[in-house]
Amino acid sequence: MLQVGVIREQTERVLKGLRKRNFKDAENLVNLILEKDSQRKETQQTLDDRKAKANADARKIGDLIKSRKDDEANTLRNNVAEAKEATKKMEALLVDLEREVIELLYKVPNVPHEKVPAGVGAEDNLKVSEHGTIPILDPSALPHWELIKKYDIIDFDLGNKISGAGFPVYKGKGAKLQRALINFFLDEAEKEGYREVQPPVVVNEASGYGTGQLPDKEGQMYFIQEDGLYLIPTAEVPITNLYRDAIVNEEDLPLKNAGYTPCFRREAGSWGAHVRGLNRLHQFDKVEIVQIRKPEESYAALDEMCAHVQSLLEKLELPYRKLLLCGGDMGFNSALTYDMEVYAAAQQRWLEVSSVSNFETFQSNRLKLRYKNKEGKIQLLHTLNGSALALPRIVAAILENNQTSDGIRIPSVLVPYTRFEAVN
């Protein structure tokens, strides 16, 4: 959520940014917000004055009673009672206005960073770099959804039986490969100075609002009606919300946390031929890295996070490319996002395996996540996160790219974790 003050003071910059996102009707929305907020301020000012008077009167009544001037006290009491009605109405008005402003603010996406190219969709993303060599496979090479059957390591039919579509069962070496990847990713994150955390995988409504999944992405999350809890779509939600409503000490910065969790996504209506096998699931595993930074350091941190993610892909010997997302393809909350895509050689497709974003103050404003700087001024922090990494598509790429007639070769960096060198 943007700060009203920013919209008011930097209206042009905000509008320009929203245009880059191809965000329709920005001007009207922004004007409406400013108008409503002015009304809010005006109402609050009047209300505050009335309350000040009411407080003074109440004190006076107290004094009169104490000095036993009951008649005077009663007269004043009657007068005050009338004013109270008007105050009550105005209070309701203020609450309404505050709610309206917030609800309007929820509709405004983050302002993209200057570097973000304008664009409508994936085709306008900017390729920053490409790394590694794309393997040339034998014509008999199989896509991963065939390989998992051939080696009996991931079972969609069993998942269908016990849960439903998009909930695979990992078996034998398939399960061990998952566990190996998780441990490898966590160990690498630790080397980069991240503290490992294990958060709950269900969160309350306030957390959903804190990181921006609510109110608009409600349909993407599984919801437990009876307890008002949401299954997390990413560890970003619980890990970032660790710092909701907090004023952190400057000396505790930067905050770097990493965690493994399963992630749950309803993914309503997005199934099709191009999302076969492991490409898109309702439940998948992911290690997430989250940083909380002073504003002036956040873009350096973003680069640092990308470098970390890239080093993982390099160690896994996977060919990948790095994209700078355009305004139209970027997430609602983000100011700048890099995607990492690996090449799955049998599908002959690039698969997104990581998304690394700087949210600047968009989340921290909602989270009320701040720190006190040296001058004693309280300031919003910047939040950042990235997948490091999402497992299923990494597994897909490893399976496809490393297939040989003798089985699937495990990248050497993973062998100490899997304790086998091939799936066969």
In the complex, the smallest distance separating the C-beta of residue 45 from RNA, rounded to whole angstroms, is 4
Per CB under 7 A, the segment of 49-57, 108-116, 170-178, 288-296 that binds RNA is 49-57
The verdict on 41 binding RNA (CB under 7 A) reads: yes
The verdict on 47 binding RNA (CB under 7 A) reads: yes
165 CB burial (10 A radius; 0-12, 13-18, 19+): exposed
Whose CA is closest to 343, among 355, 352, 334, 335? 352
C-alpha separations of 383 from 20, 211, 246, 248, 255 in Å: 22, 10, 13, 13, 10
Give the residue with the Cβ less far from RNA, 292 or 389: 292
The verdict on 84 binding RNA (CB under 7 A) reads: yes
The verdict on 36 binding RNA (CB under 7 A) reads: no
Is-contact 261 203, C-beta < 8 A? no
C-alpha separations of 336 from 1, 36, 42 in Å: 15, 29, 36
Q: Which residue has the tokens 């890990």?
A: 239
The verdict on 49 binding RNA (CB under 7 A) reads: yes
C-alpha separations of 416 from 55, 73, 296, 389 in Å: 71, 84, 40, 19
The verdict on 247 binding RNA (CB under 7 A) reads: yes
The verdict on 200 binding RNA (CB under 7 A) reads: no
Per CB under 7 A, the segment of 39-47, 166-174, 264-272, 388-396 that binds RNA is 39-47
In the chain, the N- to C-terminal Cα span, in Å, equals 50
User: Could you say which of 16, 69, 77, 409 contacts RNA (CB under 7 A)?
Assistant: 77
Whose CA is closest to 101, among 48, 32, 169? 32
User: Could you say which of 59, 115, 131, 179 contacts RNA (CB under 7 A)?
Assistant: 59
Q: Give the total of residues touching RNA (CB under 7 A).
A: 26
The verdict on 51 binding RNA (CB under 7 A) reads: yes
3-state secondary structure of 224: strand
Give the residue with the Cβ less far from RNA, 58 or 300: 58
The verdict on 86 binding RNA (CB under 7 A) reads: no
The verdict on 89 binding RNA (CB under 7 A) reads: no
In the complex, the smallest distance separating the C-beta of residue 75 from RNA, rounded to whole angstroms, is 11
User: Could you say which of 282, 308, 322, 370 contacts RNA (CB under 7 A)?
Assistant: 370
- In the DSSP assignment, the letter for residue 169 is E
Give the residue with the Cβ less far from RNA, 47 or 253: 47
The verdict on 115 binding RNA (CB under 7 A) reads: no
User: Could you say which of 6, 32, 34, 65 contacts RNA (CB under 7 A)?
Assistant: 65
In the complex, the smallest distance separating the C-beta of residue 244 from RNA, rounded to whole angstroms, is 13
In the complex, the smallest distance separating the C-beta of residue 337 from RNA, rounded to whole angstroms, is 27
E strands within 268-319? 283-293
The half-sphere exposure of 53 on its side-chain side, counting CA atoms within 13 A, is 15
The verdict on 192 binding RNA (CB under 7 A) reads: no
User: Could you say which of 24, 31, 52, 70 contacts RNA (CB under 7 A)?
Assistant: 52
The verdict on 62 binding RNA (CB under 7 A) reads: yes
The verdict on 70 binding RNA (CB under 7 A) reads: no
The verdict on 225 binding RNA (CB under 7 A) reads: no
C-alpha separations of 80 from 48, 67, 74, 84, 92 in Å: 16, 19, 10, 6, 19
Per CB under 7 A, the segment of 153-161, 314-322, 370-378, 385-393 that binds RNA is 370-378
The verdict on 35 binding RNA (CB under 7 A) reads: no
The half-sphere exposure of 142 on its side-chain side, counting CA atoms within 13 A, is 15
- With the CA atoms of 218, 221, 225 and 228 taken in that order, what torsion angle do they form, in degrees rounded to the nearest 10? -80
* Helix residue ranges per DSSP H, 107-203: 144-150, 156-162, 173-191
3-state secondary structure of 402: coil
Positive or negative: CA dihedral 343, 338, 239, 415:
positive
| Per-residue b or e along 113-136, where b marks 16 or more CB atoms closer than 10 Å to that residue's CB | beebeebeeeeebeeeeeebeebe
User: Could you say which of 6, 32, 34, 54 contacts RNA (CB under 7 A)?
Assistant: 54
What is the distance between the alpha carbons of residues 244 and 166, in angstroms, rounded to a whole number? 32
User: Could you say which of 57, 100, 192, 297 contacts RNA (CB under 7 A)?
Assistant: 57
In the window 381-410, what residues touch RNA (CB under 7 A)? none
Per CB under 7 A, the segment of 46-54, 117-125, 192-200, 254-262 that binds RNA is 46-54
List contacts with RNA (CB under 7 A).
Answer: 4, 41, 44-45, 47-49, 51-52, 54-59, 61-62, 65, 77, 80-81, 84, 247, 370, 372, 378
